[in-house]
Homo-oligomer: A and B are copies of this chain.
Amino acid sequence: MKIGDIARLAGVSTTTVSRVLNNSKNVKEETRIKVNNVIKEQNYYPNMIARNLSSNKNDTIGLIVPDIKNTYFSKIVNNMVTNAGKKNLNVVLGCSNEDFEIQKKYIELFIKQRVKGIIIAVTKNSYNELEFFENISSKIPVVFIERKINSNFPTVCFENINSTIKSIEKLIEKGHKKIAFLAGDLSISTARERLEAYKRVLKKYNIKYDEKLVFYGDFSMESGYILAKEIFKTNVSAIYISNNLMLLGFLKALKEYKKNEDEYLISTFEHDEIVYFINQDINSYKIPFSELTKKSMDLLEEVSNKENKKNLVEIELD
Contacts and interface: CB of A to CB of B under 8 A. Distances in A.
A47 interface: yes
Q: What band does the interface of chain A fall in when counting residues whose beta carbon is under 8 Å from B?
A: 35 or more
A181 to B, nearest CB: 22
A81 B60 contact: no
B90 A91 contact: no
A208 to B, nearest CB: 34
A213 to B, nearest CB: 25
Copies in the complex: 2
Interface string A87-131: 010111111010000100110111111100000000000000000
A134 to B, nearest CB: 12
Interface stretch (A49-57, A144-152, A196-204, A300-308): A49-57
Given A112-B45, A113-B48, A71 B68 contact: no
Interface of A: 43, 45-50, 52-53, 58, 60, 68-69, 71, 74-75, 77-78, 81-82, 85, 88, 90-95, 97, 102, 105-106, 108-114, 135, 139, 248, 251-252, 255, 272, 274, 276-278
A94 B81 contact: yes
28 contacts: A45-B112, A47-B53, A47-B112, A47-B114, A48-B113, A48-B114, A49-B52, A49-B58, A60-B113, A68-B74, A69-B74, A69-B78, A71-B74, A74-B77, A77-B93, A81-B94, A82-B95, A82-B97, A85-B106, A85-B109, A88-B109, A90-B109, A92-B93, A252-B276, A252-B277, A255-B277, A255-B278, A277-B278
